[in-house]
């Protein structure tokens, strides 16, 4: 087992072809536990700075991030869009509800306090196809669309993995978003939609449902979006499982 305080990454590590557990945090206690977890699972623990450019065909199995670090929420959104099958998990070392909601709304599959973080990460990896993110699947969740004309809410997936998702129609196109305001967790389905902009019913934050971008605070963070697929067999929202 790696001793906290020593370099948990080792002096040399080859990541070519390996399953990667990527650390975007500096907490030595967590890094020591991650090193032990990586050894147990036979994957390579690498720093985010050493990640390079992994191919889209072999995304990291997981990226772990200190959500209290500057720009963490934006990075979570970027990774979730690029590698939807990667388990993105956030550790937080102080109570901050907005960052907690922000990380989940940006697409993190898991947010946990520092002390419980690695144990919860291990359980989440176990739950994913034997713990191998490479094998993690994108699940297509069928949506039964409401019969209504024009723009607005047309579908709900309250039991989607990771949290409720709603489907909005904007200018004839369907867009799926996580139904949780990053500011304090209000349901965005209860908000008002004007063009692509949804206004949170609780404190008025605004988001673009076509991109997830935050347009107005008090939320500091964007919302998670999901791909919607339509075909002869129906309408589906694609979510990582
Ligand atoms: S909960 Fe949405 S703006 Fe506060």
Q: Which domains does the chain have, with CATH numbers?
A: 20-135 (3.40.50.2300), 138-240 (2.102.10.10)
Q: Is the CB of 123 under 6 A from ligand 1?
A: no
pLDDT at 7: 55
Give 187 Cα–ligand 1 centroid separation in angstroms.
Answer: 9
- For a mutational test of ligand 1's pocket, the pick from 105, 181, 192, 223, i.e. the residue with the most ligand atoms closer than 8 A to its C-beta, is 181
Q: What is the largest CA-CA distance in the chain?
A: 61
Q: Is the CB of 101 under 6 A from ligand 1?
A: no
Give 138 Cα–ligand 1 centroid separation in angstroms.
Answer: 29
pLDDT at 2: 42
b/e sequence 115-137, b meaning 16+ C-beta within 10 Å? eebbeebbebbeebeebebbebe
Give 223 Cα–ligand 1 centroid separation in angstroms.
Answer: 12
pLDDT at 203: 95
pLDDT at 10: 56
Would you say 74 and 212 are in contact if contact means Cβ atoms under 8 Å apart? no
Which ligand 1 atom sits closest to the C-alpha of 204?
3
Which ligand 1 atom sits closest to the C-alpha of 184?
1
* CA nearest to 102, candidates 123, 80, 126, 125: 80
pTM, to two decimals: 0.64
CA torsion 47-53-59-63 (nearest 10°) is 30
Give 208 Cα–ligand 1 centroid separation in angstroms.
Answer: 15
How far is the first Cα of the chain from the last one, in angstroms, to the nearest whole number?
A: 30
The rounded average pLDDT for each run of 10 residues, N- to C-terminus, in the chain (241 residues) is 48 61 93 92 88 70 94 90 87 85 85 89 77 58 88 92 90 93 90 96 95 88 87 86 67
């Amino acid at each position: 087992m790696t001793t906290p305080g020593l370099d948990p990454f080792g002096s040399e590590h080859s990541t070519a072809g390996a399953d990667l557990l990527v650390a975007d945090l500096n907490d030595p206690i967590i890094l020591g536990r991650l090193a032990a977890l990586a050894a147990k699972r036979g994957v390579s623990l690498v720093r985010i700075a050493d990640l390079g450019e992994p191919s889209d065909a072999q995304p990291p199995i997981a990226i772990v991030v200190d959500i209290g670090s500057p720009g963490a929420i934006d990075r979570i959104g970027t990774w979730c869009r690029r590698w939807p099958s990667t388990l993105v998990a956030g550790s937080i070392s102080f109570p901050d509800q907005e960052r907690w909601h922000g990380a989940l709304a940006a697409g993190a599959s898991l947010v946990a306090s520092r002390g419980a973080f690695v144990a919860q990460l291990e359980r989440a990896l176990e739950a994913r196809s034997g713990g191998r993110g490479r094998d993690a699947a994108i699940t297509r969740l069928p949506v039964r669309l409401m019969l209504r004309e024009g723009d607005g809410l047309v579908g709900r997936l309250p039991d989607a993995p990771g949290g409720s998702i709603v489907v909005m129609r904007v200018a004839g196109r369907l867009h799926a978003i996580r139904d949780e305001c990053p500011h304090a967790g209000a349901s965005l389905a209860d908000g008002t939609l004007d063009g692509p902009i949804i206004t949170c019913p609780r404190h008025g934050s605004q988001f673009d449902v076509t991109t997830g971008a935050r347009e107005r605070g008090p939320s500091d963070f964007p919302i998670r979006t999901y791909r919607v697929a339509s075909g002869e067999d129906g309408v589906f929202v694609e979510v990582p499982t």
